[in-house]
Amino acid sequence: MTSAWTPRSAWAGFARAGRHGRPQGEPGVRLTLRDGVGLATVIAADGQEDALGRILADRFGWSLPGSGAATLVGERGLVWSAPGQWLAVAEARAGLQGLAEALRGVAAVTDQSDARAIVRVSGPRARGLLSKGVAVDLHPRAFAAGQAAVTSIAHIGAQIWQRDEAPTYDLAVARSFAGSFWSWLSHAAAEFGYEVDREAEH
Amino acid sequence: MRIRCPYCGERDNGEFSYLGDAAPRRPDGLEAQASAMHDYVYLRDNPAGEHRELWYHGAGCRSWLVVTRDTRTHTISDVSPARDVARSRRPGEAA
């Protein structure tokens, strides 16, 4: 089936592919625009957290992360959002197929794939960049791979999870704030020199 | 001032909203006298010292918290999820 509608990147009109900011040396920060990611909020019904954990483990091979944690294998898994609430993440929306049906009666599942803008932040100065806007201690002693936080950056609500010790972070903001968020991100990254990996699809 | 959210850890107070005294309990609207509603809505103690108050972690986990704070020094001695406080409370008992 064809459609008159074409997917548009959340970062379209804001992010530009290529090298930006300080021109000397290697870029300190790499920004990877992540489009088409499958996202869904999972909110446990009262008293059903154990049942939810069991179903997710049996059916999807996922373990339910505790407060401030993320359990991801590759691009799939769960990020803690609030007590009894998680963000399910998959490479694409199709990766979350069957989730709502499997969790019927134990959790409310709401597709958020179109609701968030996600950018991956890596490179040698990734931590220094985020430290300028995140009021959470990102020092490796306090925040390491597999940890997650819901906080605000430049007065914009943001969810952040660290993927590896490089360090690599994924950042999610409400899609309608993508422009304002990019304004902060690009200005904050300029002093380190940054590279945007590809053009945002229009 | 920072508040140690029981879920998120220590966070800047800009992430939270203040509601006020955690003690008042809303009277039953159908049963209560007007004077009881008046007291519930308007009357507050203003202690110099320990105060139990409600804060909302709006920029974080969106949980309501009961924070025990010394109003003279802003020293916070306890932060508990408001739902746990409410569930452990007997009917009619103040927070």
Provide the CATH number for the domain around residue A28.
3.30.1360.120
CA dihedral in degrees (B77, B78, B79, B82; nearest 10)? -130
B8 contacts in chain A (CB < 8 Å): 67-68, 149-151
B92 pLDDT band, cuts 50/70/90, is low
Give yes or no for a contact between A89 and A143, defined as CB atoms under 8 angstroms apart.
Answer: no
Are residues B62 and A82, on separate chains, in Cβ contact within 8 Å?
yes
Beta-strand (E) ranges in A66-147? Answer: 70-73, 76-82, 85-90, 107-111, 116-122
Domain that includes residue A122, residue range: 18-35+114-196
Are residues A151 and B7, on separate chains, in Cβ contact within 8 Å?
no
Is B75 within the bounds of a domain?
A: yes
Touching check for B15 and chain A: CB below 8 Å?
Answer: yes
Contacts 24+ apart (CB under 8 A), A185-191: A185/A31, A185/A119, A185/A129, A186/A15, A186/A20, A186/A21, A188/A129, A188/A132, A188/A133, A189/A20, A189/A21, A189/A28, A189/A29, A189/A31, A189/A129, A190/A20, A190/A21, A190/A22, A191/A21, A191/A22
Which residues pair with residue A99 across a beta bridge?
none
Is A6 within the bounds of a domain?
A: no
Q: Are residues A30 and A118 in the same domain?
A: yes
Q: Are residues A192 and A104 in the same domain?
A: no
Domain that includes residue B71, residue range: 2-88
Q: Are residues A51 and A78 in the same domain?
A: yes
Q: Is the pLDDT of residue B81 over 80?
A: yes
Q: Are residues A65 and A22 in the same domain?
A: no
Q: What is the rounded radius of gyration, in angstroms, for the C-alpha atoms of chain B? A: 14
Is A165 within the bounds of a domain?
A: yes
Is A202 within the bounds of a domain?
A: no
What's the number of domains chain B is made of? 1
A154 contacts in chain B (CB < 8 Å): none
Is A50 within the bounds of a domain?
A: yes
Residue A79 CA to residue A149 CA, distance in Å, equals 9
Which residues pair with residue B2 across a beta bridge?
B12
* Adjacency order of strands within the sheet including A29-34: A18-20, A194-196, A29-34, A116-122, A168-174, A156-164, A148-153
Q: Are residues A94 and A184 in the same domain?
A: no
Q: Are residues A66 and A99 in the same domain?
A: yes
Q: Is the pLDDT of residue B29 over 80?
A: no
Residue A80 CA to residue A91 CA, distance in Å, equals 18
Residue B93 has a pLDDT of: 59
Residue B79 has a pLDDT of: 98
CA-based nearest distance B54→chain A, Å: 17
Q: How far is CA A83 from CA A130, A145, A150, A160, in A?
A: 25, 20, 12, 16
Touching check for A144 and chain B: CB below 8 Å?
Answer: no
CB atoms within 10 A of CB B63: 19
CA-based nearest distance B95→chain A, Å: 21
Touching check for B12 and chain A: CB below 8 Å?
Answer: yes
Provide the CATH number for the domain around residue B71: 3.30.2270.10
Are residues B11 and A150, on separate chains, in Cβ contact within 8 Å?
no
Residue B86 has a pLDDT of: 87
Q: Are residues A151 and A104 in the same domain?
A: no
What's the number of domains chain A is made of? 2
Residue A175 CA to residue A118 CA, distance in Å, equals 8
- For residue A42 the two structure tokens come to 């999972």
Is B47 within the bounds of a domain?
A: yes
Provide the CATH number for the domain around residue A57: 3.30.70.1520
- Chain B interface, mutation test: which of A43, A147, A150, most B Cβ atoms within 10 Å? A150
Determine the average pLDDT of the residues in B13-32: 91
B64 contacts in chain A (CB < 8 Å): none
Inter-chain Cβ pairs, chain A and chain B, closer than 8 A: 37
Which of these three, A78, A111, A144, is where a domain ends? Answer: A111
Per-residue pLDDT of chain A (202 residues; tens, 9 = 90+): 678 888 899 999 999 999 999 999 999 999 999 999 999 999 999 999 999 999 999 999 999 999 999 999 999 999 999 999 999 999 999 999 999 999 999 999 999 999 999 999 999 999 999 999 999 999 999 999 999 999 999 999 999 999 999 999 999 999 999 999 999 999 999 999 999 998 887 7
